[in-house]
Amino acid sequence: MILKIDSHFEKYASSLLQIVENFKTSGLLFGDGKRNTIKLFEFEDLTVNIKSFKIPHLFNRVVYQYFRKSKARRSYEYANALLKKGIGTPQPIAYFENSSWLGLKDSYYVSEHLEVDLTFRELDIQPDYPDHENILRQFTRFSFDLHEKGIEFLDHSPGNTLIKNGINGNYSFYLVDLNRMNFDKSLDFEKRMKNLSHLTAKKEMIRVMSDEYSKHYSNKTPKEIFEKMWFETQKFKTSFDKKKRLKKAFKF
């Protein structure tokens, strides 16, 4: 077992290891667990969130062992990188990797569990959600900040931004599902708009988001930003729907 624990939690190393070793038989299941399994554990004076990544197939087991960092390790390292850049994410605590001569087997990412009010998904499916437009505009500013700091969050999708209500209508945003990211890149206009294309297919939301983005991005006009954002959104939706149909047909 390979493990890396944040310096603030090193004194709990044996306890964390014990929790991970008993992951299958303990803890409270969080989410549907279709791809990866997430469980909550009460630990010291906080609740920890442990994500167990699905065991990769044989080829990827070798790749993750010898040529590429595991998803658990990337999640841990990317979380620390985000915090250093002033971007919200649950406090990273540790990652664990269990390997054999055949390569990586199971791996785990441990972070603090945050109690939040909503995710972006609620904004998408509930147009009458309280303070909807204000939250959407603040989220857009948060996304603009990501882009300005050279962060390309490749899984920028509805369920991967946690939103917490603050004081006087100010909201805090936290990224999760962090294993696919690019850092320290200069994001051009096309990449910025493409990065926002997975969030909603609703034109009225794209109008609000493009309007807010245009207030901070002076390289393009508001009309150009809306048209490009809407184009990339439609392009993604068409591709997503096509893949869904093909997958359904293949299974049938």
Q: What is the pLDDT of residues 132-185, one digit of tens each?
A: 999 999 999 999 999 999 999 999 999 999 999 988 889 999 999 999 999 978
Classify the C-alpha dihedral 52-53-55-58 as positive or negative. negative
Burial (CB < 10 A; 0-12, 13-18, 19+), residue 34, is: exposed
The pLDDT value recorded for residue 85 is 96
The string of DSSP letters for the chain reads -EEEE-GGGGGGHHHHHHHHHTGGGSSEEES--SSSEEEEEEETTEEEEEEEEPPPPHHHHHHHHHTS--HHHHHHHHHHHHHHTT---PPEEEEEEEEETTEEEEEEEEEEPPP-SEEHHHHHH-TT-TTHHHHHHHHHHHHHHHHHTT-EETT--GGGEEEEE-STT-EEEEE---SSEE-S----HHHHHHHTTTS---HHHHHHHHHHHHTT-TTS-HHHHHHHHHHHHHHHHHHHHHHHHHHHHHH-
pTM greater than 0.95? no
End-to-end CA distance of the chain: 40
- What angle in degrees, to the nearest 10, is found between the helix axes of 203-214 and 222-251? 140
The pLDDT value recorded for residue 151 is 97
Residue with more model confidence, 215 or 238? 215
Domain 2-112 class, CATH top level: alpha beta
Which of 47-61, 98-112, 211-225, 231-245 has maximum average pLDDT? 211-225
**Of the candidates 25, 88, 16, the residue with the CA atom closest to the CA atom of residue 49:** 16
Q: Rounded distance, CA 180 to CA 108, Å? A: 16
pLDDT at residue 57 greater than cutoff 80: no
User: Can you tell me which residue has the tokens 């809407």?
Assistant: 230
Which of 13-22, 45-54, 224-233, 236-245 has maximum average pLDDT? 224-233
CA distances from 64 to 33, 59, 73 (A): 22, 9, 10
pLDDT at residue 252 greater than cutoff 60: no
Domain ranges of the chain: 2-112, 118-248
The pLDDT value recorded for residue 64 is 65
Which of 28-32, 113-117, 134-138 has maximum average pLDDT? 134-138
Confidence bin at 247 (pLDDT 50/70/90): confident
Using only C-alpha atoms, the chain has a radius of gyration, in whole angstroms, of 20
Q: Rounded distance, CA 228 to CA 195, Å? A: 11
62 CA to centre of own chain:
25
Average pLDDT in the chain: 90
The pLDDT value recorded for residue 220 is 96
Of the options 1.10.287, 1.10.10, 1.10.510, 1.20.1270, the CATH number for the domain spanning 118-248: 1.10.510
The pLDDT value recorded for residue 251 is 65
The pLDDT value recorded for residue 118 is 96
Q: Model confidence over 78-100: pLDDT tens digits?
A: 999 999 999 999 999 999 988 87
Confidence bin at 61 (pLDDT 50/70/90): low
